[in-house]
Amino acid sequence: MSDARSIDEQSCPFYRDDLVTIYCADSTDLAGLDDASVDLVITSPPYNLDVSYNGYADALPYDRYVQWVGRWARALFRVTQSTGRACINIPLDSNKGGKRAVYADYIRIFREAGWQYQTTIVWNEQNISRRTAWGSWLSPSAPFVTAPVEMVPIFYKDDWRRPRGNRISDVTRDEFLAWTLGVWEFPGENPKKVGHPAPFPIELPRRLIKLYSYLDDVILDPFLGSGTTAVAAKVLNRRCVGVDVDPHYCQIAAERCREVASTNGSP
């Protein structure tokens, strides 16, 4: 999908601190990451919606996009350990080049890559102000329905149950009760604030990390962007490996991680 080097060719990290390692590389095959080395994947891949990223062209023919998703879904499967999980933030559907059932396609692609489906969290971004495409206004001729939500399907590798052993959980009673109801409501992130065209808010990885991982687990974000997952992981005392193909975004992510280090844990 890109001419960028893989992690293998680029074994020197772009940034490293006590908890976070960032590679500026193409993560399609995740060559260079060990098999079964990751406990939890949290990511938001390019949606193929023609977003103006710094370098990456986000407008493939849909069948090529689907093939590419299959490649990295298989790579994630390889690097995730047997009771590991994957939380993939994607749109419900898209209107680019015809109506596409993106979420339904991801479920199929991930299953074909070996993943088992566990559940889906519906994230209500409350972004109804962007709603302008009505289709046939005040007519049943061809109305368009828009759902102001994004989907976060949760997959696992072999076993959903992940024994605690002597690992430490930090999710509180109130958080657990609230977050196990699968509709989450909080606003998206302001792209200008973080200098990236499609960031997710820190609240998304924060909840996923606390709900689905133990302290000191290894979290992987193969499409790191502005580094939101790494910041959340660092604040919550998890290790994080982040990969992005674009050096400009890696720089932003590294800077955000440095700021966390210097503020002793608050993003």
Ligand X SMILES: C[S@@+](CC[C@H](N)C(=O)[O-])C[C@H]1O[C@@H](n2cnc3c(N)ncnc32)[C@H](O)[C@@H]1O
Q: Which residues bind ligand X (CB under 6 A)?
A: 1-2, 26-28, 44, 46, 53, 56, 196, 198-200, 223, 225-226, 228, 243-246, 249
Taking the least distance from each CB to ligand X, the nearer of 71 and 114 is 71
Distance, in Å, from the CA atom of 21 to the CA atom of 224, rounded to the nearest integer, reads 11
Quote the least distance from Cβ 137 to ligand X, whole Å: 32
Distance, in Å, from the CA atom of 122 to the CA atom of 153, rounded to the nearest integer, reads 8
- The one-letter code for the residue type at 65 is Y
Quote the least distance from Cβ 87 to ligand X, whole Å: 11
Quote the least distance from Cβ 248 to ligand X, whole Å: 9
**Residue among 185, 94, 126, 235 nearest 257 (CA):** 235
Quote the least distance from Cβ 100 to ligand X, whole Å: 17
Taking the least distance from each CB to ligand X, the nearer of 194 and 218 is 194
Taking the least distance from each CB to ligand X, the nearer of 52 and 264 is 52
Structure tokens at 157: 């590798």
Nearest residue to ligand X, by Cβ distance, number only? 225
Q: What is the DSSP string of 93-132?
A: -B-TTS-B-HHHHHHHHHHHTT-EEEEEEEEE---GGG--
Quote the least distance from Cβ 225 to ligand X, whole Å: 3
Taking the least distance from each CB to ligand X, the nearer of 2 and 126 is 2
Quote the least distance from Cβ 53 to ligand X, whole Å: 5
CA angle 123, 125, 219 (to 5 degrees): 50
Distance, in Å, from the CA atom of 259 to the CA atom of 234, rounded to the nearest integer, reads 11
Taking the least distance from each CB to ligand X, the nearer of 39 and 189 is 189
Taking the least distance from each CB to ligand X, the nearer of 28 and 80 is 28
Taking the least distance from each CB to ligand X, the nearer of 15 and 200 is 200
CA angle 120, 83, 112 (to 5 degrees): 60
Give 39's contacts (C-beta < 8 A, 6+ positions apart).
80, 81, 83, 84, 85, 213, 214, 217, 218, 219
Distance, in Å, from the CA atom of 147 to the CA atom of 168, rounded to the nearest integer, reads 37
Other residues' Cβ atoms within 10 Å of the Cβ of residue 122: 15
Whether the Cβ atoms of residue 33 and residue 24 lie closer than 8 Å to each other? no
Quote the least distance from Cβ 13 to ligand X, whole Å: 14
